[in-house]
Chain A
Amino acid sequence: MQERLSEIQNQAKEDLAKAESLEEVEKIKIKYLGRKAGVINEIVKAIPSLPPEQRSTMGKSANKLKQEIGTWIEEAKVKFADEGRTSESKEIFDLSLPGKRKHYGHRHPIVQTIDEIKGIFKKLCFDIEYGPEVEHEYYNFDALNIPADHPSREDFDTFYLGNKRLLRSQTSTVQIRVMEKKKPPIRMIAPGKVFRPDTVDARHASMFHQIEGLMVDEGVSFSDLKYVLTLFAQSYFGQDIKMRFRPSFFPFTEPSAEIDISCSICKGKGCSVCSHSGWVEVLGAGMVDPNVFETVGYDAEKYTGFAFGLGVERLTMLKYGIDNIRLFFENDLRFLSQF
């Protein structure tokens, strides 16, 4: 019987090679694999009459051959696949049907903004650093030249955890941690979560994200600060934006600046986003205060540097015209899947 099987195998191969249409392939399928009179089925029916010791082997072989021929037939069908549709039926494939879509996951818009900004600063040779979210008061205030009991601490209103621990209210903490570890030159940005006990409304959340930046070396000037931040703003907001650097105050920089860009919504004409001023504030920056250098043991005569900080939610809201910061943390998929 084994010989019979080889014969069938060869014959089927030959038949399929000769087939010239889908119809012929279908006929071959019936000839070999048909339930009633198929060649293979005939063999299988005959198995019980074999001596018991042969039955199992024959059964397996027959099954294997059946599978094999089945595979060939499917392959042969592919060759004539076009036929069925064009000549034999009146079916017209509707090309306008919607594609079968798989859901592709979206990264959170805040993460996308952080990633984009990291990308820009990587091109400017800035390292990426991270720091803890639960901080010691020292890193959040003292080392940043924010004296205890000073009104400027109020600008960085803070959640306290006891034993001099707090939730950092600014990513500037990472400046200190990096300078404690490394010697200049330093070029880094540090993205991360910060926390402030602000009353939650459309513009304020008790948790949000900032990116801190720091560059320290010999001879770094305010001019470098303007250069780097201009490149950043043009890269992120577009080449044609206008920028305004105006004096401000941060305890850890001197001179300090706040940086506005021309309002992208009204193109500087004045609208509710920019409080009708035509400008929106996007960055805080300044030359690192000598007191900060002293704290981390840098020679403030030898080294100078600049630092900057930005609010990630704010930039994301500006970029997409989002009017409520709470949307970021409600995580409504109808919102998240737009990015």
Chain B
Amino acid sequence: MKISYNWLKDYCKHDLSVEDLSEKLTNAGLVVDTINPVDDDFCLEVEVTSNRPDCLGFIGIAREVATIVRSELIIPGVDYETTTENVNDLTGVTIEDNELCPRYTARIIKDVKIAPSPEWLQKKINSIGLRPVNNIVDITNYVLMESGQPLHAFDFDKLSEKRIIVRKAKKDEAMEAIDGSKCTLTDEMLVIADAQRPVAIAGIMGGRDTEVSDRTKNILLESAFFDPRNVRRTSRKLSLISDSSYRFERRVDPECVDWASRRAAKMIMEIAGGQVVEGVIDQNYIEGKNVSVALRMSRMNSLLGLHIDKETARDILENLQFTIKPEGETEGNLTVEVPSFRGDVYREVDLIEEVARIHGYDKIPAESNIGVKLTQDNIFDKVTEKTKSVISGLGFDEVITDSIVDEQHERHGTIWSEMSSLKIINPIRQDENFLRKALVHNLLRVKKHNQNYGVEKTNIYELSKIYLPQEDDEMPEEKECLCILGEEGFLSLKGVIEAILSQLNIVQKLETMRFDFGLFNPEESAELKLGGKLLGYIGELSREVINDYDFRTRPCVAELDYNILIDNTNIESSYRKIPSLPMVARDLAVVSDEAVTWAGIKECIESLNIDYVYGIEFFDVYRGKQVEKGKKSIAFRLIFRAEDRTLKSEEVDKLQEEIVENLSNTFGIKLRA
């Protein structure tokens, strides 16, 4: 809400500079965002939180200032002379829905002279960034800003049958608003109508047909209380927001409705020369129940952690125009009646906040005697710390990418779910409205971005959630995934995964199953399994994807189900004795058919269950001149050792022979000469 520094002084005398005023308001919870000089005045932009509609008018803010500086709140007078004619003889108000309109007042002012406002009024209107229109409109705006109560002036002579009906709109009923927007109404919306048609959308905007014009002579002045929720819904549906709707949807003070009407009537009479018709039509269905709340000093002080005495609390609350009821007062308690403009206060804790914020949060000591307590282990964090230190150590940079993606984004397919992605109903951009079902595509995009800026190699990873839809619009499965993009080839990337498994003490075997998936080169891609469960996939990008993204390198990607890693992690590990006796190493090279795999060779050797075989280490695969066409040579090292003695060369020879023979029988491979 914009307020003028000078104008505010009409309601509260103080000698604070604009900076001091701003600071004091801010410290009481009304943050002053900006201070802009306007001629000999300042315009302050005050941030009013949604619980404080009472501060959406100068008087409300002045009330705070008066409390803070302990000066008096000045409320303008609203007495005036009237004609002898009575308003009830001229018009009538019918309320068809008194839940949506619990209070409606109408006054008639006759024989006004429409003209520009006097200079002082124009200046005030200007000082808070409004545009002067004519004396009547400016006065209703002035009183709106002063009191927070929106008003509307109808051209009385244009109202059909000169009466008001507050009713729900008929379906598809139409009205053109003052700002020119043509509104098609629904039967949920509340309108102010005359005998024939809607003349205003209740609480939001008046209609063009009945607005005050240069030729207007007689005015019907409306001041009302409309149901906040209905105003809000209607305003959203019509995309029509006004200073009025802003206040009605936050709830206006039901007791200020008539005061504001009288204030405006008086000003119209004084400025536009009209005559106010005697009386008011006031349809009031609001039950005047005053909320009384007990405030225990002990509770207040224990919740705040300081000592405020009863007199200080009383003083603060009374300045804020709460009423302390003597009959409810005891040594440690106050009974407090809440004024009608403070709908946000209805519990003890709300009163405690009032006292605390005026007393000053800075006076509450930052002290505590909270003791120590053992925190719980968080397995996710523990595993993550280890995992990330491995990946970082191996040279991969961590990225964080957006969970919301466009429809084309996952065009190369995802393996985690076949169902169509979760869709956002109200996206910011129409095309970015899906929740990702994989991380890989986001990493490809990061690579693309970096390539565009001249970074050729992007070794990156992300640990984040993907969102897998479930049947019947149930909550999705949020799968925590670890996705790694590497530029050093399939086996390097597989090595990264193996390093992670090893650091996490995972004993289950990592299995690679060949699989066909559009994202990848079918020769070098695999489904990964750990302990029989699907861990994820790894592969070199297919030619098609490389071309699609226009990559200049050929990266490999792996995406892993992180919970499978967590489930198999052994945080507690035990020490494995370092062998004290020397080992015997034998390097072998065998020639085999292409179909023979390293995993097969390793398994075959392991299946012999030879106690002395301590390790089987792969070296390399060779194809070329010295190897028969269509075959490959696999080189590896066998490590032998015994727990209790040094193995003799002859013993090892024998074991080696046994192994080679078995490999030969199983796979038909030969020792390379």
Chain A residues with CB under 8 Å of B455's CB are 332-334
B599 contacts partner chain A, Cβ-Cβ < 8 Å: no
- In contact, B373 and A125 (Cβ under 8 angstroms): yes
Chain A residues with CB under 8 Å of B476's CB are 134
A45 contacts partner chain B, Cβ-Cβ < 8 Å: no
Interface centre among A128, A151, A185 (most CB of B within 10 A): A151
Q: Which of B397, B435, B473 contacts A106 (CB 8 A)?
A: B397
Per-position binary interface string of chain A over residues 132-148, scored 1 when its CB falls under 8 Å from any chain B CB and 0 otherwise: 11101000000000000
A297 contacts partner chain B, Cβ-Cβ < 8 Å: no
Q: How far is the CB of A218 from chain B (nearest CB, A)?
A: 10
Chain B residues with CB under 8 Å of A222's CB are 303-306, 356, 361, 364
- In contact, B397 and A249 (Cβ under 8 angstroms): no
Interface centre among A104, A185, A246 (most CB of B within 10 A): A246
Per the 8 Å Cβ criterion, residues 139-171 of A in contact with B are: 149-152, 154-155, 159-163, 165, 167
Q: Which of A165, A185, A195, A230 contacts B373 (CB 8 A)?
A: A185
Per-position binary interface string of chain A over residues 284-298, scored 1 when its CB falls under 8 Å from any chain B CB and 0 otherwise: 000101100000000
Given A136-B475, A224-B370, do A254 and B350 touch, yes or no (CB 8 Å)? yes
Q: Which stretch of B283-291, B418-426, B613-621 is in the interface?
A: B418-426
- In contact, A249 and B398 (Cβ under 8 angstroms): no
Given A107-B388, A223-B367, A331-B460, do A161 and B423 touch, yes or no (CB 8 Å)? yes
State which size class the interface on A falls in. Answer: 35 or more
- In contact, B232 and A149 (Cβ under 8 angstroms): yes
Given A107-B398, A127-B378, do A200 and B305 touch, yes or no (CB 8 Å)? no
Given A159-B426, A197-B428, do A227 and B366 touch, yes or no (CB 8 Å)? yes
B368 contacts partner chain A, Cβ-Cβ < 8 Å: yes
B408 contacts partner chain A, Cβ-Cβ < 8 Å: no
Q: How far is the CB of B412 from chain A (nearest CB, A)?
A: 19
B514 contacts partner chain A, Cβ-Cβ < 8 Å: no
Per-position binary interface string of chain B over residues 374-409, scored 1 when its CB falls under 8 Å from any chain A CB and 0 otherwise: 111010110000001001111111111111100000
Per the 8 Å Cβ criterion, residues 304-339 of A in contact with B are: 304, 328-334, 336-337
Per the 8 Å Cβ criterion, residues 251-285 of A in contact with B are: 254-258, 275
Per-position binary interface string of chain A over residues 166-208, scored 1 when its CB falls under 8 Å from any chain B CB and 0 otherwise: 0100000000000000000101000001010111100000110
Q: How far is the CB of A256 from chain B (nearest CB, A)?
A: 7
Given A197-B427, A226-B366, do A104 and B395 touch, yes or no (CB 8 Å)? yes
B52 contacts partner chain A, Cβ-Cβ < 8 Å: yes
Chain B residues with CB under 8 Å of A187's CB are 373, 375
- In contact, A152 and B425 (Cβ under 8 angstroms): no
B297 contacts partner chain A, Cβ-Cβ < 8 Å: no
Per-position binary interface string of chain B over residues 466-499, scored 1 when its CB falls under 8 Å from any chain A CB and 0 otherwise: 0100000111101000000000000000000000
Given A125-B372, A249-B52, do A223 and B397 touch, yes or no (CB 8 Å)? no
- In contact, A328 and B478 (Cβ under 8 angstroms): no
Chain A residues with CB under 8 Å of B397's CB are 105-106, 108, 333, 336-337
Per-position binary interface string of chain B over residues 293-323, scored 1 when its CB falls under 8 Å from any chain A CB and 0 otherwise: 0000000001111100000000000000000
Given A195-B403, A223-B364, A247-B353, do A151 and B250 touch, yes or no (CB 8 Å)? yes
- In contact, B400 and A105 (Cβ under 8 angstroms): no
- In contact, A108 and B303 (Cβ under 8 angstroms): no
Chain B residues with CB under 8 Å of A152's CB are 50-51
Q: Which of B29, B353, B428 contacts A246 (CB 8 A)?
A: B29
Q: Which stretch of B88-96, B140-148, B150-158, B446-454 is in the interface?
A: B446-454
Given A125-B372, A133-B403, do A255 and B367 touch, yes or no (CB 8 Å)? no
Per the 8 Å Cβ criterion, residues 200-233 of A in contact with B are: 200, 206-207, 215, 217, 219-224, 226-228, 230
Chain A residues with CB under 8 Å of B33's CB are 275
Closest residue of chain B to A223 (Cβ to Cβ) is B305
Q: Which of A185, A200, A304, A328 contacts B428 (CB 8 A)?
A: A200
Q: Which of A130, A217, A254, A328 contacts B353 (CB 8 A)?
A: A254
Closest residue of chain B to A163 (Cβ to Cβ) is B473
Per the 8 Å Cβ criterion, residues 90-122 of A in contact with B are: 102-108, 110-111, 118, 122
- In contact, B305 and A105 (Cβ under 8 angstroms): no
B352 contacts partner chain A, Cβ-Cβ < 8 Å: yes
B4 contacts partner chain A, Cβ-Cβ < 8 Å: no
Interface centre among B250, B361, B372, B449 (most CB of A within 10 A): B361
A248 contacts partner chain B, Cβ-Cβ < 8 Å: yes
Q: How far is the CB of A202 from chain B (nearest CB, A)?
A: 16
Chain B residues with CB under 8 Å of A128's CB are 375, 378, 381
Q: Which of B28, B303, B394, B399 contacts A304 (CB 8 A)?
A: B303
Per-position binary interface string of chain B over residues 96-124, scored 1 when its CB falls under 8 Å from any chain A CB and 0 otherwise: 00000000000000000000000000000
- In contact, A255 and B395 (Cβ under 8 angstroms): no
Interface centre among A118, A230, A333, A337 (most CB of B within 10 A): A333
- In contact, A223 and B232 (Cβ under 8 angstroms): no
A85 contacts partner chain B, Cβ-Cβ < 8 Å: no
Closest residue of chain A to B47 (Cβ to Cβ) is A248
Closest residue of chain A to B232 (Cβ to Cβ) is A149
B27 contacts partner chain A, Cβ-Cβ < 8 Å: yes
A126 contacts partner chain B, Cβ-Cβ < 8 Å: yes
A111 to B461 CA separation, bound complex (whole angstroms) = 13
B347 contacts partner chain A, Cβ-Cβ < 8 Å: yes
Q: Which of B368, B380, B404 contacts A224 (CB 8 A)?
A: B368
- In contact, A223 and B304 (Cβ under 8 angstroms): yes
Per-position binary interface string of chain B over residues 434-456, scored 1 when its CB falls under 8 Å from any chain A CB and 0 otherwise: 01000000000010011001010
A27 contacts partner chain B, Cβ-Cβ < 8 Å: no
Q: How far is the CB of A153 from chain B (nearest CB, A)?
A: 9
Q: Which of A102, A217, A246 contacts B27 (CB 8 A)?
A: A246
Q: How far is the CB of B285 from chain A (nearest CB, A)?
A: 21
- In contact, A329 and B232 (Cβ under 8 angstroms): no
Per-position binary interface string of chain A over residues 238-249, scored 1 when its CB falls under 8 Å from any chain B CB and 0 otherwise: 000000111111
- In contact, B403 and A105 (Cβ under 8 angstroms): no
Closest residue of chain B to A254 (Cβ to Cβ) is B349
Q: Which of B305, B372, B378, B403 contacts A221 (CB 8 A)?
A: B305
Chain B residues with CB under 8 Å of A328's CB are 400
B82 contacts partner chain A, Cβ-Cβ < 8 Å: no
- In contact, A111 and B370 (Cβ under 8 angstroms): no
Q: Which of A206, A224, A336 contacts B402 (CB 8 A)?
A: A206
A337 to B376 CA separation, bound complex (whole angstroms) = 33
Q: Which of A132, A150, A228 contacts B368 (CB 8 A)?
A: A228
A217 to B305 CA separation, bound complex (whole angstroms) = 14
Chain A residues with CB under 8 Å of B404's CB are 159, 195, 206-207
Chain A residues with CB under 8 Å of B50's CB are 150-152, 154-155, 249
A255 to B353 CA separation, bound complex (whole angstroms) = 5
**Top 8 closest pairs, chain A to chain B, by CB:** A223-B305, A247-B29, A221-B305, A249-B49, A255-B353, A105-B392, A227-B368, A247-B357
Enumerate chain B interface residues (CB-CB to A < 8 A): 26-29, 31, 33-34, 49-52, 229, 232-233, 249-250, 302-306, 347, 349-350, 352-353, 356-357, 361-362, 364-368, 370, 372-376, 378, 380-381, 388, 391-404, 422-428, 435, 446, 449-450, 453, 455, 458-461, 464-465, 467, 473-476, 478
A/B interface sample: 10 pairs, CB < 8 A: A108-B397, A118-B381, A159-B427, A162-B423, A193-B464, A217-B370, A222-B304, A224-B368, A254-B352, A329-B400
Q: A206-B402, A332-B453 are in contact. List 20 more A-B contacts (CB 8 A).
A: A104-B392, A104-B393, A108-B399, A110-B400, A127-B376, A128-B378, A149-B233, A193-B464, A206-B404, A215-B370, A222-B304, A222-B305, A226-B367, A227-B368, A228-B370, A246-B27, A246-B31, A246-B361, A331-B446, A332-B450
